[in-house]
Structure 1
Amino acid sequence: MKSFSFIFQYLLNPRKIGAVLPSSNYLAEKMVGSIDFHNAKYIVELGPGIGVFTDKIIENRNQHTVVMLIENNKEFCTLLKEEYKNEKNLIIINDSAEEIDKYTKDFNIPYIDYVVSGLPFASLPKSSSSAILIKTKKLLRKNVIFITFQYTLLKKGLIGHYFKQINIKREYRNIPLAYVFSCSN
């Protein structure tokens, strides 16, 4: 059901969804692999889609860790709210990731320990990508990580403009091949 919903939304909004198929479990493992779940108090996921990375975050997080999901697609947001309706310390927002600062303020989140992003920076307008990256960087605690994946290395320069260090890992067991960017200052 979730995969069908993902494919259907891709057909309706290919530039906003960014992929024909949901991310693989292998990619999800790589995306959350550098998160220190024991010490993380606030985790934000941008563009969670149908929740492939969210599942891993929820599965590994400390019970007191606050997780905020910001999803622009209304159908995906409805799916996420149903899927995680019994989860405590989970905030699900239906809005643009550009509003990350508004929602962290509204929900009294003083800083973010980790941001996990499923946003398709390659197909987002540069102004939107820049706004998201600027606001995210301001909210992240020092020496913590912004984690995103892309299907191409084309946006490495854009992301590198905001983060000094980018560690890139490939995930071959995803369709298509994906690059995981772990970014810090």
Structure 2
Amino acid sequence: MANGQERHKILFIGPVGAGKTTAIAAASDKAVVCTDVAVSDMTRVRKPRTTIALDYGVTNLTDGRRVHLYGAPGQERFDFMWEILREGISGLAILIDNSRRSPFDDLGFYLRWRHSFAFSGKMAVGVSFTDRSPLPGLGEYRDFLRGQQQDAPVCAVDARRREDVHRLLHTLLAA
């Protein structure tokens, strides 16, 4: 801790289009480092640009904690960046797009990835796009996590809203 201020490194991970870049931009108190490029594959149907390396921002929470926000690319072909970005994380924020065909398959994939490097730190699940697709509900996500022997808070997140992202961060850090 520098200057008595508690610092955290939170990694946002999830499928393409779940809102990682948007969430970091909404929450950051500084200009965001963003490595988005024009999409050149089937991701075009979801969005025009995609992250190829990382997103980075910093936010100061109301309780004085300084949080460094890192966003991993959603495409598996960039998974080498996941390995780099996971170093030294104090928390994992998994964003899941509720409007995708199989959001539980997506969540299961990221839970297995977390397990693959034996990360036992704090984790929270943010469910985005509940306005487009209200089902499955948050209770179903909690049931899924219990079935995977995982204990993590789950909350709905509109990645465009700073308050929602901050709520996810507070929830994660309190887990």
Shorter-chain TM-score: which interval? 0.3 to 0.5
TM-score (norm. length: structure 1): 0.43
By relative contact order (CA 8 Å, sep 6+), the higher-ranking structure is 2
